[in-house]
Structure 1
Amino acid sequence: MSIAISTALQSSFADAVTRTREALAGQGFGVLTEIDMKATLKAKLDQDMENYLILGACNPPLAHRAVDIDRQIGLLLPCNVVVRTDPDDDTRVLVEAMNPQLLVQVTGDPALQEVADEVTAKLRAAIQALGPTSG
C-alpha cells in the first residue's frame, strides 16, 4: 500500500498551493495547520531546501465519525497534505496526501474502514482535480 495519493503539476509553487487549498475545500476539507518546512529549517538550523509546505487538512464530519470510533485516532489527524517543489525538477510541484487507508492499517480497527474509504475518495477527488494522478 502506498502511503500517498499524489500528483505532479507543472505550475508555480504558489499556484499549486492555492489550487490545492481550493481542491481540498471543494471536498469539505479545511486547513487547520500549516508548516513551512523551508522557512522552519532555515530559521532553526540555517539549512536550505526546496519549497515544502505541510497542510493539515480536516473534514470535520468525517473526523468526528473517526474519533467516535476510536478516541486515539486524533493522534493520526489531521490528514497531512504536502505541497513541495520536486527536488529533481524545479519546474514541477508535487502534491501528496496521506493515504487514509493507513488509519485502518495502523490501528487494526476494521470499524474505521468505512470512514477511511470516504476520506480516501474525497482526497483522491481533490488530488485528481489538480491534474494527472499517480499513487
Structure 2
Amino acid sequence: MFDYTVATDKSMNDAIESIKESLEDEGFGILWMFDMKEKLQEKELEFQKELRVLEVCNPQEAQRVLNENQMAGYFLPCKIVVYEDNGQTKIGMPKPTALISLLNDDNMKLFAKDIEDRLISCIDKSK
C-alpha cells in the first residue's frame, strides 16, 4: 500500500495542531503548510474541498539520509496531508518506504522504515 491514512473526529485546525505537537515530540517540524483550496481559489479555480499539505522534516534524519544517498532528496521533505472527506477529517501520508523503494537501495529502505514508523506514530497520536 502506498499510503497511510486515518480518520479523526477532530476539526481540520485541531487535527493540524495535534499533528504539529506529535511531530515536535519526535523531533520533526513543519517547514511549510500549503492550503490547496486557498491557492486554487486564488487562481480563480473552483475547488471547495479542505486540503492542507504539511511539509515535515527532522533535520538530523534528513542529513543522515542525504549523506547515504543524495537521490533521497527527491522525496524530502516528507508530506503529511490533512483533508476533509465526506464531512470527516483525515490525516495521511505517502509511505516513505514506498517512495524510497524506487531507489533500489537496501540501506535507504531501512532509513525509510524508521522514519515511516515514527511518522505513523505521530499520525496515530493525532487522531
Report TM bin, short chain.
over 0.9
| SS of equivalent residue, structure 1 residue 33 | strand
Percent identity of paired positions between Structure 1 and Structure 2: 27
Quote the offset at 1:15 in angstroms.
0.7
1:38-53 aligned at under 5 Å gives the runs 38-53=37-52
How many residues are treated as equivalent by the alignment? 127
> Contact between 1:5 and 1:127, CA under 8 Å: does it hold in 2?
no
Does the CA-based 8 Å contact 1:5-1:98 persist in structure 2? yes
Shift of residue 110, structure 1, vs aligned partner: 1.1
Residue 127 of structure 1: how far off its partner (Å): 1.1
**Residues 25-104 of structure 1 mapped to structure 2, 5 A cutoff:** 25-86=24-85, 88=86, 90=87, 92-104=88-100
Distance 2:53 2:113 in 1: 22
Q: Is the 8 A contact 1:32 1:56 kept in 2?
A: yes
Which residue identity is paired with 1:111? N
Structure 1 residue 48, shift from structure 2 partner: 2.2
Distance 1:30 1:124 in 2: 15
1:122 maps to amino acid: R
> Structure 1: where are the runs of 5+ without partners?
none
Structure 2 CA distance for aligned equivalents of residues 128 and 98 of structure 1: 15
Residue 20 of structure 1, CA deviation: 1.3
> What is the CA–CA distance in structure 1 between the aligned matches of 2:63 and 2:121, rounded to whole Å?
21
Moved more, 97-106 or 115-124: 97-106
When the two chains are superposed, the root-mean-square deviation of aligned CA atoms in Å is: 1.2
Q: Distance in 2 between matches of 1:12 and 1:105?
A: 34
Structure 2, unaligned runs of 5 or more: none
Cα deviation for residue 104 of structure 1 reads 2.8
Q: What's the offset of the Cα at 1:46?
A: 2.6
Q: Which runs of 4+ in 1 moved over 3 A?
A: none
Report the Cα offset of residue 49 of structure 1: 2.1
